[in-house]
Amino acid sequence: MKIPDYIGSLAFGLKMGVILPGMDIVEEILKPLSRCSMDGLLHDGDVICITESIVARAQDNFITVDDIAREIKEKLNLKEDSRLAVVFPIASRNRFSMILKGLARAVPNGEVMLQLSYPSDEVGNQVISPDYVESLGKEVLTLDDLVGYEFKHPVTGVDYINLYRKLIEEEGARPNILLSNKPEQVLEFEPDGVLAADIHTREKTKEIIAKRFSNCITLDQVCNQGEKYSEWGLLGSNLSSGERLKLAPREGRQLVKKLQSRVKEEFGLDVEVMIYGDGAYLDPTSGIYELADPKAAFAATGGLDRIREGVKYKYLADQYYYEGHKNPNEIETFISENAKRDVARDCDDREGTTPRRMEDVLASLADLVSGSADAGTPVVIVKNFLA
């Protein structure tokens, strides 16, 4: 079946069965792609988008809380009574609660100094009311400032400050929670080791801390080697069952290239392939930036390594109309010819278009279509998007 010419960009999810550890994920994805090909729904230029979760699950890329505790002790040279500082984690049960549990387990007779940014974390989750912070008139807040105070996240209803405090206490460690937007603030409490736990700003945070304290690592330096690992370390990890976490997929570049080659072998088609995580968009209602993964796309084939940009269709339609061209077909021809011209990015014809990385746009689109794979469609095909 040929997609009609009057259809523009199109994205649809493919239903797949449960993916389990040990499965060959490339061969499993080829099964629904084969049905698409037989039905005429797979063509040259399509983009095959795979959610990271099924890749990591097929790779059996799971670790435990004990794995985290062991690694953090080794990499920061901690003892059971050491003082561990954790700077700028996000407020998330899925993304950080089990990580924190492992960190606290590393120092069961020690102390975990947890420094949160305020009023929100780096992806927009509020951890405290801005009005309450303003009423205190302080740049640094401690647990003493929060006695009798409770702030529940406006979307999840979770009080993350108390949740994190309890998780630390359950492992036997002493919680010392402070709120400050200066990374180096935690050094005033003389930690034995520091973990920069932010995602997108981790290198800057580490750089600031390293000017005064050398024993500091980032989340991507934990669980980034060994039998179970990801190049991203703990970045992009998710809560799994019990005390297990699923890491981000490993060796994604090799996988997308393999699937691209197999599609060429099986169906004679040239496609692009990517592994996507969270979409890179900001929710205007909650103010939450969805991207809790280190990147929107963990891996992509070479054809997606470019910027998506184009001419402003509605701008040109207005321009040609007011220049005296009243025939819509004539205007369509002008716009089509204009799109083929090689013009500078600051040209008026591109006015209003925002250049974005192709893989970021596609990952966000795929994440919305698949509903983070909750719709049972962990593979998304995007058509007529790259032209």
Residues 70 and 215 in one domain: yes
Residues 193 and 211 in one domain: yes
Q: How many separate helices (H) and strands (E) can be counted in the chain?
A: 11, 16
Residues 137 and 272 in one domain: no
Residues 195 and 174 in one domain: yes
Residue 1 lies in a domain: no
* Mean pLDDT, the chain, whole residue set: 89
Residues 6+ apart with CB under 8 A from 150: 159, 162
Whether the link from the prior residue into 294 is cis, omega within 30° of 0, is no
Residue 72 lies in a domain: yes
Residue 321 lies in a domain: yes
Cα angle 56, 62, 65 (rounded to 5 degrees) comes to 145
Cβ density class 188-218: b for 16+ within 10 Å, e for less: eeebbbbbbbbbeebeebbebbeeebeebbb
pLDDT (0 to 100) of residue 371: 78
Backbone φ/ψ region at 197: left (φ over 0), alpha (ψ -120 to 50), beta: alpha
Residue 3 lies in a domain: no
Domain-ending residue, one of 190, 212, 241: 241
Mean pLDDT computed over 146-172: 91
pLDDT (0 to 100) of residue 156: 87
Which whole-number Å values give the CA distances from 289 to 100, 122, 146, 269, in the listed order?
22, 8, 26, 36
Q: Are strands 111-116 and 174-179 parallel, antiparallel or unpaired?
A: parallel
Residue 4 lies in a domain: no
Residues 6+ apart with CB under 8 A from 46: 269, 271, 272, 381, 382, 383
Residues 198 and 320 in one domain: no
Strand partners of residue 225: none
- 64 class by beta-carbon count within 10 Å (0-12 exposed, 13-18 middle, 19+ buried): middle
Residues 91 and 221 in one domain: yes
How many domains in the chain?
3
- pTM of the predicted model as reported, rounded to 2 decimal places: 0.87
Whether pLDDT at 283 is above 90:
no
Residues 6+ apart with CB under 8 A from 361: 308
Q: Report the SS3 class of residue 349.
A: helix
Domain-ending residue, one of 189, 224, 241: 241
Contact 100, 93 (CB under 8 A): no
Picking from 49-58, 251-260, 378-387, which range would have the lowest pLDDT averaged per residue? 378-387
pLDDT (0 to 100) of residue 343: 46
Residues 223 and 273 in one domain: no
Helix (H) or strand (E) holding 380: strand 379-383
pLDDT-derived band at 310 (thresholds 50, 70, 90) equals low
Place of tokens 């040239």: 270
Residue 2 lies in a domain: no
Residues 33 and 134 in one domain: no
pLDDT (0 to 100) of residue 341: 52
Give the whole-angstrom CA distance, residue 64 versus residue 220: 16
Mean pLDDT computed over 122-139: 90
Whether pLDDT at 338 is above 60:
no
- 134 class by beta-carbon count within 10 Å (0-12 exposed, 13-18 middle, 19+ buried): exposed
Q: pLDDT tens digit string along 229-249? A: 999 999 999 999 899 999 999
Residue 67 lies in a domain: yes
Domain-ending residue, one of 217, 241, 265: 241
Which CATH number goes with the domain that contains 14? Answer: 3.30.1330.100
pLDDT (0 to 100) of residue 178: 94
Q: pLDDT tens digit string along 212-221? A: 999 999 999 9
Residues 227 and 86 in one domain: yes
Cα-flanking dihedrals φ and ψ of residue 172, to 5°?
90, -10
Residue-number span of the structural domain to which 177 is assigned: 63-241
Residues 94 and 180 in one domain: yes
Residues 87 and 177 in one domain: yes
Which CATH number goes with the domain that contains 79? Answer: 3.40.50.620
pLDDT (0 to 100) of residue 328: 66
Residues 140 and 178 in one domain: yes
Give the whole-angstrom CA distance, residue 218 versus residue 235: 9
Contact 363, 29 (CB under 8 A): no
Residue 337 lies in a domain: yes
